[in-house]
Amino acid sequence: MAKQTRSNDWGFPRWRGYGSERATKQVRLCDRHGCNEPGDRPAPKSPNSPERWYFCETHAAEYNKNWNYFEGLSAEDAAAREAGERRDAGGFKQAQHYGWCGPGDGSRSRDEMRALDVLELEGDAEFDEIKTAYRRLAKANHPDVKPDDKEAAQRFQAVQAAYDVLKRAEERRTAV
């Protein structure tokens, strides 16, 4: 059989995936002595230093176990740095509801808006109103009140699921 002299990249369509190469890739090994795992997790050699160690996951966890991010800072400097980082990262928390482009004023997700529809409430309902509507609809559709009505049982399950969604969302909001 003749030796192949032409690459697989000629013509259209490409005969192999983009980014695939014939040459071997260089893999950086873990900087821990004796470890042969890939070192793909950088860790600083010292605070505020651009130099990095590269560890595997196990050794990175071991290295970071006793790492004190605020070491060498006064209490005021540490508090200022923490406040700055919370402020900078706060934008991500604030924009969390844009995850799947939900409707409404941007304060509730799409699932929360659907749950409010099930409970027959407006999008700006407070949690006290949610509790009241849940209790009202749960009492009206409870299987003990209407034992032979399958539609009422389904409505009861939907009301319960909607309340669970809204309760978890309220817990997340109040936890911050």
Q: What pLDDT does 107 receive? A: 74
Q: Domain 99-175 is in which class?
A: mainly alpha
Residues of the chain above pLDDT 70, percent: 75
Please check the confidence at residue 162 and state whether its pLDDT lies above 60: yes
Element containing residue 44 per DSSP (H, E): strand 41-44
Predicted TM-score (pTM) of this structure: 0.43
Please check the confidence at residue 23 and state whether its pLDDT lies above 70: no
pLDDT in tens, 79-103: 998 888 777 766 666 665 555 554 4
How many degrees, rounded to 5, is the angle at CA 94 between CA 110 and CA 160? Answer: 35
pLDDT in tens, 150-161: 999 999 999 999
Q: What pLDDT does 116 receive? A: 92
Domain boundary assignment for the chain: 27-67, 99-175
Q: What pLDDT does 85 receive? A: 79
- Select the highest-mean-pLDDT range: 24-33, 93-102, 165-174: 165-174
> Considering just the CA atoms, what is the radius of gyration of the chain in Å?
28
35 Cβ contact list (under 8 Å, min separation 6)? 29, 55, 56, 59
Is 123 or 15 the better-scoring residue by pLDDT?
Answer: 123
